[in-house]
Structure 1
Amino acid sequence: MNLKILLPFQVFADQTGVKRIVAETREGSFGMLPQRQDCVAALCPGILVYETEAEGEAYVAVDEGVVVKTGPDVLVSVRRAMAGRDLRQLRESVEKEFLELDEEERSARSVMAKLETGFLRRFANFKHA
């Protein structure tokens, strides 16, 4: 199979010769072999596992997204992804990355709340003038 992992602004991975793929959905894990029927599934945050003849098993931590299998092609589209060969190291990297992103999101939300409040205040003053 041919596996392509897409992020919003780049191709994260483009792998050929994939023997099997295991992905996680809200209903549980499911596997894909080359002969599997075409399918579409919504992914939940978790670990996507794929195996190639040349490199063996590889692990990719993925955020929410979707997987589409059509013939020999498997497209995975997610917001964020991080690859690793060692699950322990991948887990530590994911925790660190996501904690940093959570802090950035909190900061961005705070700034947006201040902008919205200022806009509403100016709009109310404009309406009364």
Structure 2
Amino acid sequence: MHPVDIHMATEAEARPGFERNVTPDCGQRTLSFADLERWFSTSSPVDRVSYFRGFLALDRGPASRHGEEAGRELDRVATALMVMAETGDVHLIQRRNNPYDYTYIAIMSRAGVRRRASGGKRGLT
């Protein structure tokens, strides 16, 4: 088993939201931007959150197969997480469930927590 999967919840345990070390992919496929902000402001190093389950390349943006509003929200979340990854606040990984079905996961980095604690530049500004 890969070390990242050790702390991941099973699908039966998964709940939408940003609980520590939980993959929330039952019912809610996309983490909202507000929930991402809350997770970022309260998480500890190595805490992880699943922010989407599906196929990001097809599902983000206004042409999303889940609808325009859902696609725009996913694009907003994914773009914010890419910026956070570029600044070292989070690490982004994906887990393949089936063809064209991935769970996208953000892991809080130690640098992100230190920057947040010192009042430095936040990834969600």
Per the normalisation by structure 2, the TM-score is 0.29
Give the structure with the larger strand fraction.
Answer: 1
In terms of Rg, which structure is larger? 1
Per the normalisation by structure 1, the TM-score is 0.28
